[in-house]
Amino acid sequence: MNPETCDPRPVIVTGDRPTGPLHLGHYVGSLRNRVALQATHRQFVLVADAQALTDNAQDPDRIRRNILEVALDYLAVGIDPALSTVCVQSALPALAELTQLYLNLVTVARLERNPTVRQEIQARGFGRDIPAGFLCYPVAQAADITAFRATLVPVGEDQAPMIEQTNEIVRRVNRQAGRPLLPEARALIPETGRLPGIDGRAKMSKSQGNAVALSAPPEAIREAVRRMYTDPGHLRVSDPGRVEGNVVFTYLDAFDPDGAAVAELKARYRRGGLGDTAVKARLEAVLDAFLAPLRERRAALAQRPDEVLDLLRDGTKRAQRLTADTLEAVRDGLGVFTLAA
C-alpha cells in the first residue's frame, strides 16, 4: 500500500485558521515548536480554511486571501516543506466525507456539552443562532486528526476537550470495525505558556487589536512596544516596578537571547531606577532583530507567489493521498458500501 505508513515517527497534525496574518502569539504558542518537531516527527500542517468558514461564511474573501499569507508566515519562520506537509484543508475531500460519517456517531447533546464549543459560542455571541457547521466543528476536527492517523496534537490547554471528543470517535470506530483501525491522539500542551497581548490580556489576537504580526514592519513594532502594558504603578523612573504581569518583561523573556542581561534588567526595575522607556527600547531592538530576517524571507517569498502555491499544491496532493487512504479504511471498517471501480 502506502510506503509512508511504514514511517515509525509519531504523527502530528496541527494548523491555523487563515483569518489573518500570524503573529508573535502564534510563534511562541505553536510555530516555534513546529519548527523543532518537524525534524523528529511526521508533521502535517493544515491551513484550516474549511474550519475558518464555519464562522466566517459571510466573509470568504478574507479567508481565501489569508491562505497565501499564512503559508508565507510558515515558510518565513522555518517550517520546511521538505520536512512538514503543509496543505489546504478545503482541498481534502476525504475530510468532509469522514466528518459526514463521524457526525452519525456523535449526539447533538454531546456536541453541546463540549466545553470548547460552549466557550466559543459565548465568546462569539452566537446564542442559539450558531451556524450548524460551527456546532459540528469538533467532529470536523476529529476528521482532521484521524485522517492523518495523528497520535499527537499540539493544542492549548483549553483545547484538550477537543482531543477527548476525537478519541471517543476513534474508540467508537475501532469498536465497530473490530480492530484498532485509528490511533488515539494525545494532546501536546506546550510547556511555555501563552504570550499575552500587548495590552496585557491573556491572549494575543488580531481581532482584539493587541497583536504583533510576524510580518510587522519596524514602525508597527515601535508602535506596539510604545503601547505595551507595563506596571501601572510604576510612575517615576525611581519607583520600584513590578516585573510579573509586565508585558515588556514577558516579551523579553520570550525573545531576548541574552537571559542574563534580562535578569539584570528585572532586578534593576524591581529596585527602582529603570524607566519603562529604556526597557521598551531594548525590547524594540530585540523584536526587530528577531523579526527582521523573517520579514526579509517573507518579502522575498511574496515576490514568488507561484512557488509558494506550488509548495502548497505538493503538500496538498500528498495529504489528499493519505487522507483518501484513511477514508477508504474507515469506510471499510464501518461497513459502508463501496462500488469497486
* Interface residues toward a second copy, by CB under 8 A: 49-50, 53-55, 57-58, 60-61, 63-64, 67, 88, 90-91, 93-94, 96-97, 99-101, 103-111, 128-136, 139-140, 176, 309, 312-313, 316, 331, 334-339, 341
Q: How far is the CB of 20 from a second copy (least distance, A)?
A: 15
Nearest CB to a second copy, comparing residues 77 and 139 = 139
Nearest CB to a second copy, comparing residues 101 and 189 = 101
- Determine the Cα–Cα distance for residues 276 and 232; give it in Å rounded to an integer: 11
- Determine the Cα–Cα distance for residues 100 and 7; give it in Å rounded to an integer: 28
Q: How far is the CB of 233 from a second copy (least distance, A)?
A: 47
Q: How far is the CB of 23 from a second copy (least distance, A)?
A: 21
- Cβ-proximal residues to 224 (8 Å cutoff; 6+ apart), any chain: 198, 212, 216
Within 10 angstroms of residue 318's Cβ, the number of other Cβ atoms is: 16
Q: How far is the CB of 189 from a second copy (least distance, A)?
A: 27
Nearest CB to a second copy, comparing residues 134 and 251 = 134
Q: How far is the CB of 232 from a second copy (least distance, A)?
A: 42
Nearest CB to a second copy, comparing residues 110 and 226 = 110
- Determine the Cα–Cα distance for residues 51 and 67; give it in Å rounded to an integer: 12
- Determine the Cα–Cα distance for residues 283 and 86; give it in Å rounded to an integer: 32
Q: Kindly provide the b/e burial profile for residues 118-139, where b requires at least 16 CB atoms within 10 angstroms of the residue's own CB.
A: eebbeeeeeeeebeeebbbbbb
Cell of 136: 459540528
Q: How far is the CB of 29 from a second copy (least distance, A)?
A: 24
Residue 300 CB-half CA count within 13 A: 7
Cell of 3: 510506503
- 12: phi then psi, degrees, rounded to nearest 5: -110, 135
- Determine the Cα–Cα distance for residues 138 and 136; give it in Å rounded to an integer: 6
Nearest CB to a second copy, comparing residues 50 and 294 = 50
Q: How far is the CB of 203 from a second copy (least distance, A)?
A: 24
Nearest CB to a second copy, comparing residues 6 and 132 = 132
Per the listing, cell 484543508 goes with 89
Cell of 284: 524594540
Nearest CB to a second copy, comparing residues 233 and 335 = 335
Q: How far is the CB of 313 from a second copy (least distance, A)?
A: 5
Q: How far is the CB of 74 from a second copy (least distance, A)?
A: 15
Concatenate the DSSP letters of all residues of 168-206 into one string: HHHHHHHHHHTS--S---EEE--SS-PPPPTTS-SS--G
Residue 9 CB-half CA count within 13 A: 15
Nearest CB to a second copy, comparing residues 126 and 229 = 126
Nearest CB to a second copy, comparing residues 72 and 198 = 72
